[in-house]
Structure 1
Amino acid sequence: MILRRYLIKEVATTTALVLGFLVVMLLGGRLIRYFGMAAEGGLDVGVLFTLIGYNLPYFLELIFPLSFFIGLMLVFGRLYADHEMAVMNASGISRGKVARLILPLVIVAFVVQCFITMAGKPWGVAKATNIWQEQSVLEVFDFITPKKFVSSGDYHLYVGEIGENREYLKDVIVIQMPKGQTPESMNDIANQNEDAAKKAEALAQSLPSEFVRVKDTLIYAKSATQVESDDGVVRLDLHQGRRYEVDAASKQYSQIGFERYRISLAAGKTNDLKPMKIEGWTSSELLANLNKTTPNPSSSEIHAELGYRFSLPWLIVIAAMLAPPLAQVRPRQGRWLKLIPAIFIFVANVLILISLKESIAKGKVGDWAYPVAVLLLVLFAFYMNHHDRVVARLRLSRQNARRDEGVGA
């Protein structure tokens, strides 16, 4: 009982330390990338750490089994290096029995991996995708530059000043004209007028013919605020302004005053947003669409993702079977000698499952390959545990055969 508690405590502590180190290292790289995007104006700083949190289950899906395997390797390597395993073997406690003492921890790790793979990662991917979609919807409003025109479909927006925290815009000019025509040359015209009302009138009368079509619309407003929308369309409420309609032939215009005028910008529509990745689908949604012929994603992609989720938790069992024999070192070798080769062997098991996911998604093989691959990996780990015994029996049989030959001669 004391030995079991010691082993479970050591493996759990070492796994947590390795897991923390790998998470900080990988998420640190992603955090630097997001900081760069935020500095360039491509990401709101307020959602930066939220996005990192939602990406955490995505990394844990593969980091947690690797951390558990490294933790087992370090603990069992220490038992061999400090000759504690030799003492236990001399006392009648085999290596297999020592490995079975951590079975409760293996079961807990298996359940945790199932939760991460089946529920945690899809939830995190779905939440992160929603944030990216919200950022793309707010792109036109959030990244407006004062005293420059910003185009959005038929609308060209000019803002004299941006309010605090981008909650409102001041001295707004909106020009509606055909797509493909940019009013960049009108920036100087807008900057040269002092009176806000005269800006719009001067622009309407001095527009070149190539920028004007019949009944072009030009709107001036003292301020503008964004309207919350659930349909993915960016809407602005313009306050206290005038709306002009310009005739292309006569250069005459009509005007009307307003207290509030709402426009809908063309960018950020929901039908322009990218569909949810299959990694963001819940396991129940995958099971519901398992036998349906859906174009996006295809049936093979659903089978590949679902089989991948059911296969990954078995990496915990494979890690528990591989670590004891791979951690065995001879006296004076040190427990770090076999760590790197063992990590390569375990990563090879992970890469087999990842390559199977890609092959099944492309329709090259069927989803039957997952259980076959898992079974072969378990058999390989089982062989590694009994390799020394098999080799010893083969040597003994050869020695007996040679002895029999010598006696017969």
Structure 2
Amino acid sequence: MSAATGPRRPTIAGRLARQLLMISAFWALLAGVSVWLVVQEEVDELLDETLQASSQVLGQLLRQSQAMPGEIADSDDLSTHFAWQLVGPDGRLLHRSPLAPVKAWKLPAGFSDWKDDGSDGDDWRVHVRPLPTVAGPGWLMVAQTSAERTEVRSRVGLASAFSALLVGGLCMLWMNRRARAELAPLAQLTGALAGYDPLDTRQLLPEQHRRELAEIRAAVLDLGQRLAQRVANERAFSAHAAHALRTPLAGMDAQLAMALREAPPESRARLQRTREAADRLRRVVTALLTLFRTGMSLRWQRIDLIELMALLPLPDGLALDLPEGEGGIDADPDLLSAGLINLLDNAWRHGASRALLRLHRLPDGGLVLHLSDNGEGVADWQRVDLNDALERQQYEGRMGLGLMMADLVARAHGGDLRLPVVSEGFAVALRLGPRPD
């Protein structure tokens, strides 16, 4: 499975964003619940202190008053949040506010909870304070309904919890933005690495100001230098080996040609097969020299495909049918020649006597060179396996030198090599990408 069609892998930024979201949501929820619980307790204490303070103030006012009606008029009541009663020594209700029950509260000094058994059935939080009256020592009772206290607690708790959630959300957004900002240099380094060619000494990776990224850059540069050195050594060895082979092969061909003229008829067939094998080896060496001389670095040129094919050394006994009409294409002539030489040699080795080359232009400016022959071909399962190996670039043990070199040439041109289905023989489709601007 190729990288383009493989499963989507999670990104560091995405995973970090999800983790931050979960942590922030958990923190905000925990903070909101904690604030809610703390606020409830604090509000209860504050309301109790308010009741106590109200009873102190009201007690001072009652001590200073000379006369007081049994009930305070609604217009004279300045509070809609509290109710009060003044109870005499005998437990009789002396005075009350309009919000207070008509039944006297009979509670001990301090704070108490009281439930009205009347029609309203209100629950009260009552603070009882001793207060002298004309008839003797009495009691001043200041109260607040439980519904009022619940409303106050709910408003304060919800406001506090909402504030905690809002702060948590803002923190999440800020941390997510900061995380993406911190990961931006990593994305930039990834983009630089995508176009980095360790074999091109003119390319330099941008400097990194983050220590971790600077270490990655240094490691990649070191790896690139070692890779470039190894490739250079292999190219040098292969080039020297190919040059060293070319001269003896030329001498062998000359000697075999002379031997064919002088040999008796019964030996000429064997000498001819030997000369053909030497000629094939010469063509392979020529293709290898071309590849190592270019180093897979393209020199784009406008070339005529028909003229290029006329210059290629074809195997003896293989006829090539060239395309008609306009044959102008953009490619590296040396690399393309190396790839086509190997494909034609493959066709000849597998019993082909005739090959057909056709040119198909693509809408994006690229082209496909379709080369078919009348050779022995391959089974369907072999063709599928070869296509899979070409797609994955897993050449070793699955194909010969010809297909591998042709695929490398196609990839150097921004294309690829595929084996299409044909009714007989064998065919390859060598796709070349458009010429870069």
TM-score, normalised with respect to structure 2: 0.23
- Report which structure shows greater RCO (CA 8 Å, sep ≥6): 1
Which has the larger helix fraction?
1
Give TM-score, length-normalised by structure 1: 0.24
